[in-house]
Structure 1
């Protein structure tokens, strides 16, 4: 729980009673590698905080190709926000890239935290705003750059994750084939 509170407290303040209330609503889960935190076609029902591991958000395009949109590392919240907030079926999968440990909150408990803890909604809005900004910052350079530059940028964005993510997922994220990525990696001398 310490990592969760260290994360939350960078966005606002909580008193000990509020932290106890949050703790009472939380539970820890593990998700084995390749398993899903949430799935396309289902309604997202929980918010998670990753204490260990990496998750990826992916979908299938109209050619049934799997496309990785982005990765989420330790010390970040994970939720399919549109599905969770609007109670609609998700269009994406959130899958464990590695074995993961998360602190999770069921939707009813998360809503209770938002309604009960004064200022918690403002903290959550700051967290969401930062996550959206990161998503844009991470995706924008990938659109217009060549494959080698995209790979170098990927290594810059995810330095601690680069050796923990399978090449097939990295290739999907970068929009290149796995064989192209292998060639790029050989040519990139670090």
Structure 2
């Protein structure tokens, strides 16, 4: 059975097949495993974020509080996915988001400082950092564009097609917030699709 660090290594190789054994050995020295219980926070709003995480099991929800104090879901991060708040990471400012476990979650983390030191030690190491960043930013950009160009119904259809394993693991309240629709509207969309 693959251990969590091997799982991280495989994910890194999937992003960058050219990672060298020396680069991986350096990466491995900076990795830490965390086991978090449901409702525990990986990142909390108001606190600076120094970590990039990779989930080996479990599920994390990203959200922020709007001016009315309502939780607005921005992300679901399942196993074999990367998680961080890049603006907080890069600028050293407090995060504006919460990343909270919905399930028992195991993740591997590396500090941004460790990655930066790798840039200085290995000529090709920047590619690793860039590809992790691109994987995270790709998901964020896809979400932004879905709100710009897709209907609520299309966002729902895309979500269930792209995340079949998540559908029974998240609440309708969190899903409706993520899709940007009221829960009764989500129920109507679901009834309509079932009736097609």
Q: Classify the TM-score, shorter chain.
A: 0.7 to 0.9
Distance 1:76 1:23 in 2: 18
Report the TM-score when normalising by structure 1.
0.88
> CA contact under 8 A between 1:47 and 1:110: conserved in structure 2?
no
Corresponding position: 1:9 with 2:42: no
Tell me the residue number matched to 1:182.
187
| CA deviation profile, 1:41-95 (whole Å, cap 9, x unmatched) | 1100211111112222210111111101122222222111111111111111111
Question: When the two structures are aligned, how many residues end up with a matched partner?
Answer: 190
1:129-144 to structure 2, matched below 5 A, reads 129-144=134-149
Mark the CA change 1:84 to 1:38 in structure 2 (over 3 Å): closer, same or farther: same
Gap regions ≥5 residues in structure 2: none
Corresponding position: 1:102 with 2:107: yes
Q: Secondary structure at the match of 1:88?
A: coil
Moved over 4 A (4+): none
Corresponding position: 1:154 with 2:156: no
> CA contact under 8 A between 2:58 and 2:103: conserved in structure 1?
yes
Q: Secondary structure at the match of 1:102?
A: strand
Gap regions ≥5 residues in structure 1: none
Corresponding position: 1:82 with 2:83: no
Tell me the residue number matched to 2:46.
41
In structure 1, which of residues 111, 119, 123 is the aligned counterpart of residue 124 of structure 2?
119
RMSD: 2.1
Report the TM-score when normalising by structure 2.
0.85
